[in-house]
């Protein structure tokens, strides 16, 4: 077990001044976040989300793991080319070919970064790396040295840092800095550490390691015990000046520290957290919704900041208080994080100019081509729906963006008949388009959704089962837009999420299922393209990371 000893005295602040220190926001939604089951994104979606993250104001965007596959490499490269203001990082293991591949992908960025890592805990040394400590120190030196020859901005991470021996970890950090690392990330990889322990951890590190000029320390906290945000806050109080997080807190297992929660904690509690970030808080909600539309993974209703109930008040005493003065029960305003209100703004007689203006009021900059692409869908919805709300507009935009990437299948039409007291209870005829070809099959099931999914499976030739299925009303009323999120498990055990919206719940379910099928096919192609390991050598670590 790690040799855990509390520091004798509180460390001096890292950097020139602790007052109003800026915290760099390192967003790893496109890398660690995408490792969540069902959260795979295609290249187009990664670029779109990368551009939104830049608009959000994050300092560093970790675009992916270039060595994982050719498609992943191309996605990181495309993000690097598209993003102009934020630093774009790629993750790399310590192997030379991993680092080279990473550099080939990120070198196109205005501000590229190589992020290389290796585990330092005795647990990983013994069971995964099969190395002793001396061998690991040599690997740290060689990997950072090689990365620095390629790129002036190098981040080094000690995977499973919080379960490492603290003296040995400090020795590893000193070597990484000596070889040119400009950012040192010490992650709580398995979300094991509690805040009091994390404070001792950082105080001990800063006591042992001098405050090198130009070197930033970073915290990357996982949420296995629900403590990722608390640990991240403790880290910055100790002197850490970069925090790694994800939109909606997605990521491995229980996820990462949630960007929106951390940023709004700094924003709301400035009285005791005297720090700032460059994140534009009004872009938080649009970014959250865009990610949800791409992954099909919904945000829990009571999720802080971006959940449906985050600003909802049902209890009478709460409603009375909010009506009298919002601050009685709201510590921040919905508008401060970019949440729209349920205000009726548009109808079927609205033109493109009015639609474009309203999108801009919601925080979405739209050119003429983008408005034209969505306008016909808007008119179609307005013809069927008496009231158009801001949430409807956002749902339309997300559906349009999510569907703009490369798709294998597209729902062309469907017809459903359903009855009670018979077996099967429902039958569905589904017309599915693949390129220029339209295939038609009849499915059977216990209900209309079950029958539709059966027909789609017959067309695509998959055997899959529905693991999770949820329907939410985007707005109120009988003609509310239905939002369907589902999780599909395929015959090889892979799970993919799907998301779609429609006035017809069955149609939304069909589109969401097709989205999950397309993700699965994309993932299968990526696996086929994945490069093989070095001959005669095992890869130093799995393709997961910090």
Residue 196 C-beta-side C-alpha neighbours within 13 Å: 0
Query: pLDDT value at position 335?
Result: 85
Cα 360 to the chain's mean position, in Å? 24
DSSP assigned state of 58: -
pLDDT of residue 241: 97
Q: Is the pLDDT higher at 340 or at 159?
A: 159
pLDDT number for residue 473: 76
Please state, in angstroms and rounded to a whole number, the distance separating the CA atoms of residues 487 and 469.
7
Predicted local confidence at residue 78, as pLDDT? 96
Q: What is the mean pLDDT of residues 355-364?
A: 74
Asked if pLDDT for residue 322 goes beyond 50, the answer is no
- Closest by CA to 471, choosing from 486, 456, 453, 452, is 486
pLDDT of 369 reads 83
pLDDT at 496: 84
* pLDDT at 400 exceeding the cut of 60: yes
On whether the CB atoms of residues 114 and 150 are closer than 8 A, the answer is: yes
pLDDT tens digits for range 294-317: 887 888 889 999 987 887 644 444
Mean pLDDT over all residues of the chain? 85
> pTM for this structure?
0.76
What would the pLDDT profile of 65-94 be if each residue is shown by its tens digit? 999 989 899 999 999 999 999 999 999 999
What would the two tokens of residue 237 be? 């109080």
Q: pLDDT tens digits for 148-164?
A: 999 999 999 999 999 99
What pLDDT sits at residue 399? 62
Look at the chain and count its residues.
Answer: 546
Summarised one tens digit per residue, pLDDT across range 238-255 is 999 999 999 999 999 999
Higher pLDDT: 357 or 342? It is 357
């Amino acid at each position: 077990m790690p040799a855990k000893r509390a520091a004798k005295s509180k460390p001096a602040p890292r950097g020139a001044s602790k007052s109003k220190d800026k915290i760099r926001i390192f967003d790893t939604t496109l890398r660690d976040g995408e490792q969540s089951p069902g959260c795979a994104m295609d290249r187009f979606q990664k670029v779109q989300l990368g551009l939104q993250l830049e608009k959000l104001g994050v300092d560093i965007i970790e675009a992916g793991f270039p060595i994982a596959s050719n498609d992943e490499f191309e996605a990181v490269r495309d993000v690097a080319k598209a993003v102009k203001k934020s630093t774009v990082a790629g993750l790399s293991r310590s192997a030379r070919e991993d680092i080279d591949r990473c550099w080939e992908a990120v070198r196109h960025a205005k501000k590229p970064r190589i992020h290389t890592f290796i585990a330092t805990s005795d647990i990983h040394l013994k069971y995964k790396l099969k190395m002793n400590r001396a061998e690991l120190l040599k690997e740290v030196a060689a990997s950072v040295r090689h990365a620095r020859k390629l790129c002036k901005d190098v981040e080094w991470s000690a995977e499973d840092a919080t379960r490492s021996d603290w003296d040995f970890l400090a020795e590893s950090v000193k070597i990484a800095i000596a070889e040119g690392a400009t950012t040192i990330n010490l992650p709580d990889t398995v979300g094991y550490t509690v805040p009091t322990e994390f404070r001792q951890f950082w105080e001990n590190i800063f006591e042992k390691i001098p405050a090198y000029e130009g070197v930033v320390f970073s915290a990357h906290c996982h949420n296995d015990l629900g403590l990722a945000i608390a640990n991240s806050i403790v880290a910055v109080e100790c002197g850490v000046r970069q925090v790694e997080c994800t939109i909606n807190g997605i990521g491995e297992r229980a996820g990462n520290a949630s960007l929106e929660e951390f940023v709004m904690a700094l924003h709301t509690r400035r009285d005791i957290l005297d720090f700032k970030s460059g994140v534009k808080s009004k872009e938080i909600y649009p970014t959250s919704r865009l990610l949800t539309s791409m992954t099909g993974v919904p945000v829990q209703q009571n999720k802080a900041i971006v959940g449906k109930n985050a600003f909802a008040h049902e209890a009478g005493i709460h409603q009375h208080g909010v009506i009298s003065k919002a601050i009685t029960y709201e510590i921040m305003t919905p508008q401060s994080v970019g949440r729209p209100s349920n205000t009726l703004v548009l109808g079927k007689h609205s033109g493109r100019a009015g639609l474009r203006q309203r999108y801009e009021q919601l925080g979405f900059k739209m050119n003429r081509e983008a408005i034209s692409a969505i306008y016909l869908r808007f008119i179609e919805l307005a013809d069927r729906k008496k009231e158009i709300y801001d949430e409807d507009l956002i749902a339309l935009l997300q559906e349009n963006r999510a569907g703009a990437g490369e798709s294998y299948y597209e729902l062309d039409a469907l017809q459903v008949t359903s009855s009670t007291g018979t077996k099967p209870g429902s039958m569905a005829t589904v017309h599915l388009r693949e390129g220029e070809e339209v295939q038609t099959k009849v499915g059977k099931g216990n209900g209309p959704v079950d029958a539709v999914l059966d027909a789609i499976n017959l067309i695509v030739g998959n055997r899959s089962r529905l693991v999770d299925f949820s329907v939410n009303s985007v707005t109120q009323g009988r003609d509310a837009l239905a939002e369907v999120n589902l999780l599909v498990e395929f015959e090889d055990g892979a799970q993919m999420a799907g998301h779609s919206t429609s006035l017809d719940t069955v149609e939304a379910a069909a589109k969401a299922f097709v989205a999950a099928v397309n993700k699965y096919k994309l993932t299968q192609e990526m696996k086929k393209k994945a490069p093989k390991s070095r001959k005669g050598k095992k890869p130093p670590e799995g393709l997961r990371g910090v």
